[in-house]
């Protein structure tokens, strides 16, 4: 670096740049929060869905699956499982969820296994409500296709 570029100039870029971008980030966050009610499907965030989120969390589902593309990459994406396995219909999806959760693990040799989580019927309904709510979040048309 040329000698004209001094340490105090470098320091000022660091301090000024950081403060500027922190403030800008906070302003953008504020704007995002204003836009979220139209995007985050909070209308469908029922009590059942909220309970379902706790079921989702307390069984560490994110340890194998992705949800909106985030999580582990060992098992299928579940942000659109409501469309993929429930044909976008609440009752169909609930029926699928009960059948699926109670059939695990499959025990097929060499195949990836999903544990049996021993959820109650109520918990499975709640989990289904949570996944249905998640499926309604505006994701800028992600994923590209139904396979997630």
Partner 1 sequence: MQYQSQAVAKPYFIFALMLFAGQVLFGLIMGLQYVIGDFLFPAIPFNVARMVHTNLLIVWLLFGFMGAAYYLIPEESQRELHSPKLAIALFWIFAVAGTLTILGYLLVPYAGLAKMTGNELLPTMGREFLEQPTITKIGIVIVALGFLYNLGMTVLKGRKTVINIVLMTGLVGLAVMFLFSFYNPENLALDKYFWWWVVHLWVEGVWELIMGSILAYVLIKTTGVDREVVEKWLYVIIAMALITGILGTGHHYYWIGPPEYWKILGSVFSALEPIPFFLMAVFAFNMANRRRREHPNRAALLWAMGCGVMAFLGAGVWGFLHTLAPVNYYTHGTQITASHGHMAFYGAYAMPALRGRPDGNSNKAQVVEMWGFWLMTIAMVFITLFLTGAGILQVWLQRVPESGVALGFMATQDQIGLFYWLREITGVVFLIGLVVYFVSFFVDKDTEIQSA
CB of 99 to partner 1, least distance (A): 17
Q: Provide the mask over 102-121, with x wherever binding to partner 1 is found by CB under 8 A and - wherever it is not.
A: ---x-xxxxxxx-x-x----
* From candidates 48, 77, 124, 129, binder to partner 1 by CB under 8 A: 77
Select from 53, 35, 30, 25 the least CA-distant residue to 138: 35
Asked whether 125 and 113 are in contact (CB, 8 A), the reply is no
Interface segment toward partner 1; rule CB under 8 A; list 7-15, 86-94, 95-103:
7-15
Region 121-140 residues binding partner 1, contact defined as CB under 8 A: 130, 133-134, 137-140
Could you give the CA distance from residue 96 to residue 39 in angstroms, rounded to a whole number? Answer: 27
Residues whose CB falls within 8 Å of the CB of residue 137, separated by 6 or more in sequence, listed in order: 39, 40, 41, 68, 79
Under the binding rule (CB under 8 A), the answer on residue 89 touching partner 1 is no
């Amino acid at each position: 670096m040329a000698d004209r570029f001094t340490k105090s100039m470098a320091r000022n870029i660091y301090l000024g740049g950081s403060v500027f971008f922190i403030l800008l980030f906070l302003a953008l966050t504020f704007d995002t929060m204003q836009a979220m009610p139209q995007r985050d499907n909070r209308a469908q965030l029922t009590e059942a869905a909220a309970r379902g989120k706790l079921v989702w969390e307390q069984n560490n589902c994110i340890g194998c699956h992705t949800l909106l593309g985030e999580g582990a990459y060992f098992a299928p994406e579940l942000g659109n499982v409501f469309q993929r396995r429930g044909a976008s219909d609440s009752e169909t999806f609930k029926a699928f969820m009960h059948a699926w959760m109670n059939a695990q693990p499959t025990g097929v040799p060499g195949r990836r296994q999903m544990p049996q989580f021993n959820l109650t019927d109520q918990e499975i309904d709640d989990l289904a409500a949570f996944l249905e709510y998640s499926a309604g979040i505006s994701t800028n048309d992600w994923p590209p296709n139904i396979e997630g």
